[in-house]
């Protein structure tokens, strides 16, 4: 594990030092996808499904998942329920109760308003749920049961009328096997339609519809690089929650924590796949050195070393900084999806950190709690998009629409200003919208038109009395 002399370019001599840096992370910007050529591949899939409907969808489902897509019937869902133990069902119920409770508190914080802003002028806004939404739940080797709670359940708390949920069938073994507990979680969360289909083709099917799948207006949920790219490409045809691609984790630590904990928390996320950035930033060089050594040992024994080792080799980072202010600056630049602060003064980071997906404050909590059960949403911004958006929450499924109504007296006052302001911009038609009301409700009003390159000449309306 060689020391890496590379420094943050913006910081000169005082720049943080890498004690470890994965080969690929050193060569890519944090905003870049971790998979090459993904945009071209995804574009082809989307165009095929858009034009070819079910036949094209099934071509890709057969290629990637070995079976055509399928809408699950009531009896299919009942079969999944029977395949789950009472403990599994109780655990899902506990998690969903926590997530529902927090989502409802968030929904309750969103208030409609209606205010008389000046005499006779009433302005307001209403929060309206999106009617048709699609929820993507990652499947495959690691079926993301919790994503069903995070998207489907949150959409239902928001008040969405139709919630379509999809996930890929299980890999290996008999083709087409549903991930039983994921399906049950979707069902318990309130999904109106459940489909076995995954990947970019599922995103395309939800966005554009097929002969049998009604299109949606909004798509939510995390996924791999192909799913994230598909969401990016269908944005505009539908809304999306955010670009939630391959998982990222960032640990901010002083010497109050030990390498056993940091190793568990880094590898706990690195196991997601082969392209998961896992980063430690610390003021303790001893913790940095101990963590690097401990990870090498742990990768020899953990069951998910096949994926975690590749992520750590290619995407891992250990960065040493001089002080907490520098740690904060580095963290804001990284803008990690999950930011875990194990530090004597974690409140400093709570108060001052600006760019992140979700914060996990203190050694007592960790990313897995947020991922699975505690109540906050686990669909969070990646690839530095925490610079401009937060994660999935009940408000993402809600549109805020404004309205207004005013009295005749207010129309005269506002209209006077509006008429002149429209004239300054040479918008005669806009101006007439005000003027037609002023002629009716303001005695003696003479409509004027502006002429000249600088609107310097006022002329009466032709035929004005």
Catalytic residue among 338, 343, 425, 451: 338
pLDDT at 1 (0 to 100): 41
pLDDT at 227 (0 to 100): 94
338 is catalytic: yes
Catalytic residue among 229, 326, 337, 343: 337
Give pLDDT tens digits along the chain (465 positions): 433 434 454 444 456 899 999 988 888 788 776 667 899 999 999 999 999 999 999 999 999 999 999 999 999 999 999 999 999 999 999 999 999 999 999 999 999 999 999 999 999 999 999 999 999 999 987 889 999 999 999 999 999 999 999 999 999 899 999 999 999 999 999 999 999 999 999 999 999 999 999 999 999 999 888 998 999 999 999 999 998 778 999 999 999 999 999 999 999 999 988 889 999 999 999 999 999 999 999 999 999 999 999 999 999 999 999 999 999 999 999 999 999 999 999 999 999 999 999 999 999 999 999 999 999 999 999 989 999 999 999 999 999 999 999 999 999 999 999 998 998 888 888 999 999 999 999 999 988 776 655 554 566 666 654
pLDDT at 34 (0 to 100): 63
Contacts 24+ apart (CB under 8 A), 90-96: 92/145, 92/149, 92/181, 92/184, 92/185, 92/188, 93/188, 94/373, 95/146, 95/149, 95/372, 95/373, 96/149, 96/153, 96/185, 96/188, 96/189
User: Distance of CA 144 to CAs 20, 54, 165, 309, Å?
Assistant: 30, 25, 13, 21
337 is catalytic: yes
- What does pTM read for this prediction? 0.90
pLDDT at 7 (0 to 100): 43
């Amino acid at each position: 594990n060689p020391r890496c002399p590379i420094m943050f370019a913006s910081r000169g001599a005082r720049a943080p030092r890498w004690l470890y840096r994965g080969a690929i992370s050193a060569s890519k910007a944090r905003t870049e996808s971790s998979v090459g050529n993904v945009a071209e591949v995804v574009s082809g899939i989307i165009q095929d499904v858009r034009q070819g409907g079910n036949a094209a969808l099934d071509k890709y489902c057969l290629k990637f998942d070995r079976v055509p897509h399928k809408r699950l019937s009531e009896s299919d869902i009942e079969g999944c329920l029977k395949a789950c133990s009472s403990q599994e069902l109780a655990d899902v119920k506990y998690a969903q109760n926590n997530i529902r409770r927090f989502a409802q508190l968030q929904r309750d914080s969103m208030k409609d308003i209606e205010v008389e802003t000046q005499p006779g002028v009433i302005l307001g806004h209403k929060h309206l749920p999106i009617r048709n939404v699609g929820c993507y739940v990652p499947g495959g080797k690691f079926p993301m049961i919790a994503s069903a709670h995070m998207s489907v359940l949150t959409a239902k708390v928001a008040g969405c009328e139709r919630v379509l949920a999809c996930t890929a069938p299980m890999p290996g073994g008999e083709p087409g096997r549903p991930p039983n507990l994921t399906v049950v979680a979707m069902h318990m969360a309130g999904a109106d339609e459940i489909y076995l289909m995954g990947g970019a083709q599922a995103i395309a099917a939800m966005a554009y519809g097929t002969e049998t799948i009604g299109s949606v207006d909004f798509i939510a949920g995390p996924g791999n690089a192909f799913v994230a790219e598909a969401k990016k490409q269908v944005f505009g045809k539908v809304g999306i929650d955010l670009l939630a691609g391959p998982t990222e984790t960032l640990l901010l630590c002083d010497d109050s924590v030990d390498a056993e904990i940091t190793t568990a928390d880094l590898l706990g996320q690195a196991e997601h796949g082969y392209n998961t950035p896992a980063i430690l930033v610390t003021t303790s060089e001893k913790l940095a050195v101990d963590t690097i050594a401990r990870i090498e040992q742990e990768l020899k024994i953990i069951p998910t070393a096949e994926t975690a080792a590749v992520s750590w080799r290619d995407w891992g980072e250990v960065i040493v900084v001089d002080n907490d202010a520098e740690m904060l600056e580095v963290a804001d630049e990284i803008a990690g999806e999950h930011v875990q602060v194990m530090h004597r003064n974690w409140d400093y980071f709570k108060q001052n950190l600006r760019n992140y997906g979700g914060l996990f404050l203190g050694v007592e909590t960790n990313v897995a709690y947020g991922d699975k059960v505690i109540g906050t949403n686990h669909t969070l911004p990646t690839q530095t998009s925490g610079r401009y958006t937060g994660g999935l929450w009940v408000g993402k499924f809600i549109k805020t629409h404004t309205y207004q109504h005013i009295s005749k007296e207010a129309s005269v006052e506002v209209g006077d200003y509006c008429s002149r302001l429209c004239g300054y911009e040479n918008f005669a038609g806009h101006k007439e919208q005000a003027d037609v009301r002023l002629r009716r409700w303001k005695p003696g009003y003479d409509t004027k038109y502006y002429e000249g390159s600088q609107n310097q000449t006022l002329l009466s309306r032709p035929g004005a009395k």
